[in-house]
C-alpha cells in the first residue's frame, strides 16, 4: 500500500506540474499576480508530493518490501540500513525519482524567492520549470516507474551493487543532482527572458546566485564522485576520462563560462545574449549527461541503464527543451540588445576570452565523448578516446584561461592600460617563473610539470596581489568567494601537477613476511586472515608501513566477496596525510600465504580535492552576497522595440 501511495503521489504531481506549465499559456499573464499565487502554492505542493513519493520508496527499502520490483533488484535483507536508504538512487528508476525531487525542490525555492521579480517574469520562469517537471514525470510514470510490483515476491533481494556500498555513494548523487538540476533555473530564466524580449540588470542580479549555487553544488558532487572513484575503483588519479565522468564535467565547464559571462553582464551589461545561450547550453548538457548515463548507449561501472527505449524518451525531452529554447533564441535574441564598446585590453575582453576558452573546451570534451557513441550507433566500429586526446586538447585551451584568471581581477573595466597592468602583476610573474624553474631543476616530468607549477603559482600570487592592492577597502562576499574559488584553482593545479609528476605505482606479489619499497617507505606484509561481516566475507591483509625502520602506520586492505551477488571487490586501505597517500589494494591470490598487491605513493593527492572544495565553497560564499538578498525589484516591464506593451509579444 505504501508503494501505491507513492505512485499516486507522482500522478498527482503530474497534474500539478502540468497546471503550472500551462498557466503562462492560458493568458494568466493578464492577472499575473493571481497566476503567481497559484503557482507558488503549486510549487510547494509539487515538492511535497515528489518528496512523499521518495519517502514511500525509501520506506519500502527500509522494511525490505521485496514485492516492489525496484527494491527486490537493488537491496537485500542483510544490507546495512544506511545503504538500504541510499539504494533509492542506486539505479535508474530511483535516480530519476531523485531528479524529480531535486527539480521540485529548486522550483519551490524559486517560487519562494521570486518576490523581487515582476509577476509576469516569475510566472514564466515557474511555467518553464513546471513544463520540465511534467516531461520528467511522464518519463518516470511511463517508462521508469519505481513502484511496480513483483508477484510472487522473492524471499530476498538481489542486493545493491557492491561497488556502490560505500559512504561516497550516500552523498555523491544528491550533491551531483543538485548541481545538474540546478541549471534548470538559469535555463527557465533564459527562456522567460527571451519570451519577454528583455534582460535588464536587475534580472541578471537575480540570476547570478542561482548560477553560483548550481555550479557550487555540481563542483561538490564531482569532488565526492572523484573521491569515491579513487577509494573504490582505484582509479587513483584526478580524472579518468570515463564518459560518465565527462557527463558531469560538461555542464561544469559550461557553467564556468556562464559564471564569467554573468559577471560582465550584471556589472556592465555586456554579453547578455551570450549569457542566455550559455544558460540554455548548461541545462542542455545536463540533459545530454542524463542521456549518456541512462540511454544504454555506453557501458560503464556507473552507467545506470541499458534500455534504449528510455534513451529515446530522454532524447525527445532533450529535443523539446533544447530545440524549443534555441528556436526562441533565434527569433528573439535580437531584442535583448548588446553592451557598450570596450577596449581590447580591459576586464570585459579578458572575461570574454575566458568564456570562449571554456566554451571551446566544453565542445572538445563533448565531441570526444559522443563521437565513439555515434560511430558505434552507425555500425562503423568501436573506438575509445582516452587521456592522451583530452590532455593534448584541453591543456592548451585551459592553460591560457588559467593565466587570464590571474589577470582579469586586476584589470579595469572598459580600458586597462597595459603598462599599468604589467606593473601590478610583475611580482606575481617573477614568483611564478621562479616556482617553475625550481620545479624543473629539482623534479622530473619535463616541461608540463614546469607549466603546472607556473600556472599554480601564477593564480595564487596574482590572487594575493589583488587582495593586497585593495588594502582596507571593504570587500563583499562575492569578492571573497571569487578569491577563494581562484585560490582553489591554484591548489587544484598544484595537486594535479605533483600527482602526475611524482606518483609511484607498483604491482608486486608478496608472501607473509616479505617487504616492498614504495617512495620513501617500505611496506611489509605481516598477515593474511579470513574475515566475515554482515553481508560479505573475504580475506584481509595486514601491512606495516615502515620509514627508516620504524612502523608509522598499519594498513588493512580487503578482498571482499559479497554473498548475495557472489561478487568479489577489492577494498583498498589508505594512509593519508596532507602531503601524501600510501595506497594498497589487493589483486589476486598468488599462493597459500601470498597475494598480488598494488602499492601506490600519491604525493599531495588531497590537494586536488581540497582545490575543488575551495572552488565549491567560493561559489557558495559568493551566492550569499548581501546584494542578492536585497529586493531585486525590476522596473515595470518595458518591452523592447517591436514588442507589444501588454504582454511583451511581437506586434
Q: Evaluate the CA torsion angle 277, 279, 282, 285 in order and state its sign.
A: negative
pLDDT digits (tens, 9 = 90+) for 576-623: 999 999 999 999 898 888 999 999 999 999 999 999 999 999 999 999
The whole-number pLDDT of residue 461 equals: 94
Q: Is the pLDDT of residue 106 over 60?
A: yes
If phi > 0 it is left, if psi is from -120 to 50 it is alpha, else beta; for residue 59 that is alpha
The whole-number pLDDT of residue 303 equals: 53
pLDDT digits (tens, 9 = 90+) for 211-269: 999 999 999 999 998 888 888 877 766 677 888 888 899 999 999 999 999 888 887 77
Contact 129, 185 (CB under 8 A): yes
Q: How many CB atoms lie within 10 A of CB 330?
A: 10
The whole-number pLDDT of residue 30 equals: 74
pLDDT digits (tens, 9 = 90+) for 449-466: 888 999 999 999 999 888
- Alpha-carbon dihedral 99, 102, 103, 108, rounded to 10 degrees: 160
Domains contained in the chain, CATH given: 1-160 (1.20.120), 474-627 (no CATH)
Instruction: Report the percentage of the chain scoring pLDDT > 90.
Output: 51
Higher pLDDT, 651 or 203: 203
pLDDT digits (tens, 9 = 90+) for 416-453: 788 888 998 999 999 999 988 888 777 666 777 888 99
Q: Is the pLDDT of residue 304 over 70?
A: no
Q: Is the pLDDT of residue 489 over 70?
A: yes
Q: How confident is the model at residue 387 (pLDDT cuts 50, 70, 90)?
A: confident
The whole-number pLDDT of residue 445 equals: 62
Burial of 378 (0-12, 13-18, 19+ CB in 10 A): exposed
In the numeric block, the cell 558505434 is attached to 376
The whole-number pLDDT of residue 502 equals: 87
Q: Is the pLDDT of residue 202 over 80?
A: no
The whole-number pLDDT of residue 631 equals: 47
Q: Is the pLDDT of residue 649 over 50?
A: no
The whole-number pLDDT of residue 237 equals: 61
How far is 451 from 434, CA to CA, in rounded Å?
A: 12
The whole-model pTM stands at 0.91
Q: How confident is the model at residue 334 (pLDDT cuts 50, 70, 90)?
A: confident
How far is 451 from 404, CA to CA, in rounded Å?
A: 15
Cα–Cα distance list, 109 to 198, 461, 468, 570 (Å): 23, 38, 38, 42
The whole-number pLDDT of residue 308 equals: 65
Q: Under DSSP, is residue 69 helix (H, G, I), strand (E, B) or coil?
A: helix
Contact 573, 480 (CB under 8 A): no
Q: Is the pLDDT of residue 325 over 90?
A: yes
Average pLDDT over residues 500-521: 91
If you write DSSP's letter for every residue of 492-524 in order, what string do you get?
A: HHHHHHHHHHH-EEEEEEEETT-EEEETTEEEE
How far is 243 from 157, CA to CA, in rounded Å?
A: 30
Chain-centroid distance, C-alpha 72: 30
CA-based R_g, the chain, Å: 27
What is the grid cell recorded at 169? 555513494
Average pLDDT over residues 126-147: 93
Average pLDDT over residues 321-345: 84
Average pLDDT over residues 556-578: 90
The whole-number pLDDT of residue 511 equals: 94
The whole-number pLDDT of residue 648 equals: 36
The whole-number pLDDT of residue 280 equals: 95
The whole-number pLDDT of residue 184 equals: 95
If phi > 0 it is left, if psi is from -120 to 50 it is alpha, else beta; for residue 549 that is left
Q: How confident is the model at residue 377 (pLDDT cuts 50, 70, 90)?
A: confident
Alpha carbons within 13 angstroms on the beta-carbon side of residue 314 total 23
Contact 387, 365 (CB under 8 A): no
Cα–Cα distance list, 529 to 359, 525, 567, 578, 595 (Å): 53, 11, 19, 31, 12
In the numeric block, the cell 499559456 is attached to 25
Q: Is the pLDDT of residue 344 over 80?
A: yes
How far is 355 from 361, CA to CA, in rounded Å?
A: 10
Amino acid at each position: 500500500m505504501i508503494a501505491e501511495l507513492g505512485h499516486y503521489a507522482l500522478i498527482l504531481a503530474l497534474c500539478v506540474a502540468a497546471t503550472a506549465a500551462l498557466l503562462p499559456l492560458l493568458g494568466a499573464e493578464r492577472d499575473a499576480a493571481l497566476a503567481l499565487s497559484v503557482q507558488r502554492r503549486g510549487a510547494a505542493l509539487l515538492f511535497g508530493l515528489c518528496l512523499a513519493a521518495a519517502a514511500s520508496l525509501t520506506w519500502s527499502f527500509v522494511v525490505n518490501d521485496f514485492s516492489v520490483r525496484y527494491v527486490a533488484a537493488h537491496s537485500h535483507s542483510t544490507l546495512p540500513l544506511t545503504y538500504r536508504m541510499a539504494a533509492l538512487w542506486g539505479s535508474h528508476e530511483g535516480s530519476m525519482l531523485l531528479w524529480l525531487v531535486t527539480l521540485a525542490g529548486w522550483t519551490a525555492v524559486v517560487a519562494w524567492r521570486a518576490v523581487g521579480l515582476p509577476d509576469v517574469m516569475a510566472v514564466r520562469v515557474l511555467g518553464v520549470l513546471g513544463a520540465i517537471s511534467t516531461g520528467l514525470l511522464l518519463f518516470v510514470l511511463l517508462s521508469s516507474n519505481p513502484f511496480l510490483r513483483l508477484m510472487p515476491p522473492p524471499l530476498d533481494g538481489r542486493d545493491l551493487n557492491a561497488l556502490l556500498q560505500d559512504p561516497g555513494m550516500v552523498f555523491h548523487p544528491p550533491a551531483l543532482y543538485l548541481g545538474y538540476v540546478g541549471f534548470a533555473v538559469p535555463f527557465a530564466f533564459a527562456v522567460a527572458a527571451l519570451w519577454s524580449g528583455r534582460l535588464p540588470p536587475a534580472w541578471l542580479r537575480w540570476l547570478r546566485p542561482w548560477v553560483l549555487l548550481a555550479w557550487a553544488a555540481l563542483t561538490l558532487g564531482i569532488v565526492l564522485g572523484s573521491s569515491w572513484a579513487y577509494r573504490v575503483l582505484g582509479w587513483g588519479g584526478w580524472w579518468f576520462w570515463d564518459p560518465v565522468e565527462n557527463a558531469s564535467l560538461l555542464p561544469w565547464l559550461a557553467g564556468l563560462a556562464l559564471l564569467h559571462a554573468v559577471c560582465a553582464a550584471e556589472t556592465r551589461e555586456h554579453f547578455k545574449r551570450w549569457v542566455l545561450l550559455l544558460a540554455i547550453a548548461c541545462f542542455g548538457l545536463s540533459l545530454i549527461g542524463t542521456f549518456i548515463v541512462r540511454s544504454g548507449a555506453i557501458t560503464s561501472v556507473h552507467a545506470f541503464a541499458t534500455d534504449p527505449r528510455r534513451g529515446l524518451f530522454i532524447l525527445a525531452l532533450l529535443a523539446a527543451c533544447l530545440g524549443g529554447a534555441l528556436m526562441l533564441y533565434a527569433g528573439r535574441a535580437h531584442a535583448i540588445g548588446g553592451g557598450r564598446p570596450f577596449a581590447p585590453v580591459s576586464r570585459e575582453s579578458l572575461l570574454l576570452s575566458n568564456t570562449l576558452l571554456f566554451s571551446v573546451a566544453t565542445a572538445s570534451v563533448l565531441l570526444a565523448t559522443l563521437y565513439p557513441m555515434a560511430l558505434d550507433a552507425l555500425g562503423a566500429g568501436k573506438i575509445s578516446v582516452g587521456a592522451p586526446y583530452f590532455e593534448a586538447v584541453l591543456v592548451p585551451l585551459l592553460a591560457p584561461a588559467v593565466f587570464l584568471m590571474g589577470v582579469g581581477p586586476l584589470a579595469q573595466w572598459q580600458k586597462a592600460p597595459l603598462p599599468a597592468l604589467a606593473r601590478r602583476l610583475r611580482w606575481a610573474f617573477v614568483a611564478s617563473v621562479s616556482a617553475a624553474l625550481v620545479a624543473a631543476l629539482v623534479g622530473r616530468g619535463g616541461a608540463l610539470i614546469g607549466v603546472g607549477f607556473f600556472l599554480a603559482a601564477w593564480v595564487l600570487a596574482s590572487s594575493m596581489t589583488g587582495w593586497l592592492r585593495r588594502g582596507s577597502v571593504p570587500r563583499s562576499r562575492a569578492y571573497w568567494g571569487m578569491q577563494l574559488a581562484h585560490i582553489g584553482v591554484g591548489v587544484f593545479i598544484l595537486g594535479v601537477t605533483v600527482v602526475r609528476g611524482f606518483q609511484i605505482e607498483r604491482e608486486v606479489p608478496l608472501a607473509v613476511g616479505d617487504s616492498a619499497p614504495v617512495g620513501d617507505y617500505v611496506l611489509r606484509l605481516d598477515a593474511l586472515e579470513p574475515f566475515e561481516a554482515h553481508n560479505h566475507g573475504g580475506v584481509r591483509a595486514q601491512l606495516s608501513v615502515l620509514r627508516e625502520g620504524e612502523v608509522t602506520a598499519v594498513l588493512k586492505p580487503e578482498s571482499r566477496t559479497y554473498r548475495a551477488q557472489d561478487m568479489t571487490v577489492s577494498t583498498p586501505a589508505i594512509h593519508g596525510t596532507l602531503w601524501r597517500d600510501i595506497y594498497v589494494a589487493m589483486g589476486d591470490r598468488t599462493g597459500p600465504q601470498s597475494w598480488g598487491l598494488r602499492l601506490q605513493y600519491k604525493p599531495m593527492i588531497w590537494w586536488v580535492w581540497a582545490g575543488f572544495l575551495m572552488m565549491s565553497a567560493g561559489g557558495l560564499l559568493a551566492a550569499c552576497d548581501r546584494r542578492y538578498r536585497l529586493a531585486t525589484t525590476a522596473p515595470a516591464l518595458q518591452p523592447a522595440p517591436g514588442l507589444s506593451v501588454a504582454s511583451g509579444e511581437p506586434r
